[in-house]
């Protein structure tokens, strides 16, 4: 047992502040694993939402009107309903009805794990936001720039990929970073469908020891720490992609 463990155990005996998550090896391992799962959820959901949002953005550029309507319906639906309700709908609604997470008669693993349900749920929800963010980015590209590209002989597709999107992506970066922050925080919803991420493990620990106040602080500090790391990454990305003369 290390010095830190001993100190926190002593703290519990002296003051009643019970940070069991630090000195109890079993709980510590579970909590660390919970944080890793939260990070994994965030990364997968971020990639998923970028994919979904990117696809929506491309479809919106198409000339086929019903396709564009479809995207609008999707975006409005997922932007205007609560994330937790969406997750329950996917898991206990669609998941139960189509038996997507059911073990087979001789124990075959289910098609989708609760973890995958959360990734899908978050990707769909935040994909809708990414679609809107990219749209605003594209609309922020000056008309004159697009016309200049055309007069230089770019066809519409090449103008999109070589001129409009690189500029639109850079304008969108702060908003995308914001979206990333929302995703990190939303991974906590996963505890409602029994994915053992940080909040779920914290809940398990405090029902065992009733150290709610201590665990609440640990959970909040954990998310603050995670957010700090992600914010830093987004900042570095922004600096790296900065175009001299654009914006400030």
Nearest approach in angstroms of CB 29 to another protein is 11
Nearest approach in angstroms of CB 71 to another protein is 32
Q: Which two tokens stand for residue 127?
A: 């994909």
Q: In Å, how far are 192, 195, 231 from 85, measured between CA atoms?
A: 10, 16, 28
DSSP E strand boundaries for the chain: none
Nearest approach in angstroms of CB 7 to another protein is 20
Candidates 5, 9, 40, 204: give the one binding another protein (CB under 8 A).
204
Stretch that binds another protein, among 37-45, 75-83, 103-111, 159-167 (CB under 8 A): 103-111
Choice between 136 and 217, CB closer to another protein: 217
Stretch that binds another protein, among 38-46, 122-130, 168-176, 209-217 (CB under 8 A): 209-217
Q: In Å, how far are 14, 86, 115, 138, 186 from 83, measured between CA atoms?
A: 42, 5, 15, 27, 8
Kindly state whether residue 208 participates in binding another protein, applying the rule CB under 8 A: yes
Question: How distant is the alpha carbon of residue 216 from its chain centre?
Answer: 21
Kindly state whether residue 192 participates in binding another protein, applying the rule CB under 8 A: yes
Letter string b/e over residues 203-232, b meaning 16 or more CB atoms within 10 A of that residue's CB: ebbbeebebeebbeebbeebbeebeeebee
Contacts to another protein from residues 141-180, by CB under 8 A: none
Kindly state whether residue 69 participates in binding another protein, applying the rule CB under 8 A: no
- Which DSSP string do the residues of 31-70 spell out, in sequence order? HHHHHHHHHHHHHHHHHHHHHHHHHHHHHHTSS-HHHHHH
Nearest approach in angstroms of CB 212 to another protein is 7
Kindly state whether residue 101 participates in binding another protein, applying the rule CB under 8 A: yes
CA nearest 219: which of 31, 71, 61, 29? Answer: 31
Residues written for the chain: 248
CB 199 within 8 A of CB 215: no
Candidates 61, 102, 182, 231: give the one binding another protein (CB under 8 A).
102
Mask: binding to another protein, 18-57, rule CB under 8 A, as x and -? Answer: --------x-------------------------------
Catalog residues that contact another protein under the rule CB under 8 A: 26, 92, 95-96, 99, 101-103, 105, 107, 110, 114, 192-194, 200, 203-204, 206-210, 212
């Amino acid at each position: 047992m290390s010095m830190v463990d001993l100190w926190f155990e002593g703290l519990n005996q002296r003051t009643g502040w019970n940070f069991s998550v630090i000195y109890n090896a079993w709980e510590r391992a579970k909590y660390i694993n919970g944080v890793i799962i939260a990070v994994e959820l965030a990364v997968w959901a971020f990639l998923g939402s970028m994919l979904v949002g990117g696809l929506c953005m491309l479809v919106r550029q198409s000339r086929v009107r019903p396709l564009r309507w479809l995207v609008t319906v999707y975006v409005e639906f997922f932007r205007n309903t609560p994330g937790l309700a969406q997750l329950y709908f996917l898991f206990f609604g669609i998941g139960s009805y189509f038996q997507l997470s059911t073990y087979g008669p001789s124990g075959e693993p289910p098609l989708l794990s609760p973890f995958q349900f959360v990734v899908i749920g978050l990707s769909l929800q935040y994909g809708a936001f990414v679609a809107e963010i990219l749209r605003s980015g594209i609309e922020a590209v000056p008309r004159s720039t697009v016309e200049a590209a055309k007069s230089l002989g770019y066809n519409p597709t090449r103008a999109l990929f070589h001129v409009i999107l690189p500029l639109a992506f850079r304008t969108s970066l702060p908003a995308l970073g914001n979206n990333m922050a929302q995703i990190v925080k939303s991974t906590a919803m996963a505890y409602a469908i029994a994915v053992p991420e940080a909040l779920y493990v914290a809940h398990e620990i405090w029902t065992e020891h009733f150290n709610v106040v201590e665990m609440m602080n640990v959970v909040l500090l954990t998310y603050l720490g995670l957010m700090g790391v992600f914010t830093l990454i987004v900042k570095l990305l922004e600096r790296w992609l900065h175009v001299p003369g654009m914006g400030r």
